[in-house]
Amino acid sequence: MTSTTQTTVGIGAAAETTDMVLNIGPQHPSTHGVLRLRLVLDGERITSAEPVIGYMHRGAEKLFEARDYRQIIMLANRHDWLSAFSNELGVVIAVERMLGMEVPERAVWIRTLLAELNRVLNHLMFLGSYPLELGGITPMFYAFREREDLQHVMEEVSGGRIHYMFNRVGGLKEDLPLGWTDRVRAVVAAARSRMDVFDDLVLGNEIFRGRTRGVGVLSPQAVHAYGVSGPIARASGVDFDLRRDEPYLAYGELGDVLKVVTRQEGDCLARFECLLEQTHNSLALADACLDRLAELPPGPVNQRLPKVLKAPEGHTYAWTENPLGLNGYYLVSRGEKTPYRLKLRSASYNNIQALTELLPGTLVADMVAILGSLFFVVGDIDK
């Protein structure tokens, strides 16, 4: 085997017989966080790729151990800042499971509704930013118009625009404002009526399809090997969704509305299509939750808790189907008011590792298309 020489450069050329080691970052093309890619190039073709993570130095798992069960909710909703409400859910479900606590029915349905609204907010960000990374600026404006309308109702109910802090162990912070469900219904209907913009403007664009069809194909075998989940896994034909396969909250009663969107191609285009179709379905699920809430009688939305909340000694694992994939919390308690250990299994951490499989053999020009189609948040990687 002929030995080769590696030349590490920033920007520039090298001899024809020299492999180039190119550092992309540390940054993300659409500034979803700080990521570095170390690429080895043979001309314009990538021969190997290594995602270099850890630039955010979050240390959230150790911080969990120094805060009580009320305070860790604040930490949990920050690792994926586009899915704050969904992150909170995993923690409170784990603690409630340790306590053997039953959550009021009204709180269960409100949680389900807010989780799906949060899923739409997350997906809209990527539906707008992914075309932007490929040179199309217009979809971003449409995505943010819908996000702002949804953010208004989320802010009204919780008081926060990004970090909602609305979940509590045993339920929710408080009941819904008067007339809030009617305003949500109007916002959901308006968003659904305008979602065809992405069908026509993005999927109907031949340049977008040319840049994404057949590019960055991820096989089902690689999905399982790297622990990839969420829309990225389902775009490769892996038909798995916790909302259907291990129902939590009220998803067990929404089987006739819930649709698990899959594709077989596994390329960048299939990943975008899964994300878009799943957004349509989340709007339908939000409507179903609103209908159910309208039928429920008035009632409590939380449980009365002791002044000092201590989980009994033991351990449990709670996982949820977050917008970006599987999100899990492994909670170990020694009977104190703080967790002895709280291990986070985040979706983006596993998903981004698939770049080592996706990028080799592709052109540098396709790198951004592949990277953007993995729909990750770097805070969800650097946990």
- Per-residue model confidence as pLDDT tens digits over 108-140: 999 999 999 999 999 999 999 999 989 889 999
Strands 18-24 and 5-9: parallel
Element (H, E) at 58: none
Tens digit of each residue's pLDDT (9 = 90 or more) over 8-46: 555 555 445 567 888 887 765 545 567 888 999 988 899
The pLDDT of residue 329: 95
Question: Dihedral of the CA atoms 290, 120, 172, 296 (nearest 10)?
Answer: 10
CA distance 209 to 301: 46
**pLDDT for 7 beyond 80:** no
**pLDDT for 338 beyond 90:** yes
Put simply, whether the predicted model's pTM sits higher than 0.85 gets the answer yes
The pLDDT of residue 367: 92
Q: 336 has which bridge partners?
A: none
The pLDDT of residue 17: 54
Q: pLDDT-derived band of residue 58, with 50, 70 and 90 as boundaries? A: confident
Of 251, 208, 229, 206, the closest CA to residue 323 belongs to 229
In percent, the amount of the chain with pLDDT more than 90 equals 78
Check: CB of residue 92 under 8 Å from CB of residue 171. no
Q: 331 has which bridge partners?
A: 316, 342
Half-sphere exposure of 348 (CA within 13 A, CB side): 25
Residues contacting residue 84 through CB under 8 Å, at least 6 positions apart: 77, 78, 118, 160, 162, 163, 164
**pLDDT for 179 beyond 50:** yes
Residue with tokens 């040319």: 210
The pLDDT of residue 238: 96
Q: 41 has which bridge partners?
A: 20, 46
The pLDDT of residue 15: 47
The pLDDT of residue 310: 93
CA distance 233 to 48: 22
Check: CB of residue 22 under 8 Å from CB of residue 14. no
Residue 211 burial by CB count (10 A; 0-12/13-18/19+): exposed, middle or buried? buried
Taking residues 127-154, report their average pLDDT: 93
Residues contacting residue 192 through CB under 8 Å, at least 6 positions apart: 280, 283, 284
The pLDDT of residue 272: 96
Q: pLDDT-derived band of residue 144, with 50, 70 and 90 as boundaries? A: very high
Check: CB of residue 331 under 8 Å from CB of residue 8. no
Tens digit of each residue's pLDDT (9 = 90 or more) over 205-225: 999 999 999 999 999 999 999
Beta strands, E only, the chain: 5-9, 18-24, 36-42, 45-52, 167-168, 171-172, 314-322, 325-333, 341-345
CA distance 119 to 261: 14
Residue with tokens 């970052």: 25
Q: What is the mean pLDDT of the chain?
A: 90
Tens digit of each residue's pLDDT (9 = 90 or more) over 345-363: 999 999 999 999 999 999 9
Residues contacting residue 71 through CB under 8 Å, at least 6 positions apart: none
Angle formed at CA 263 by CA 269 and CA 367, multiple of 5 degrees? 30
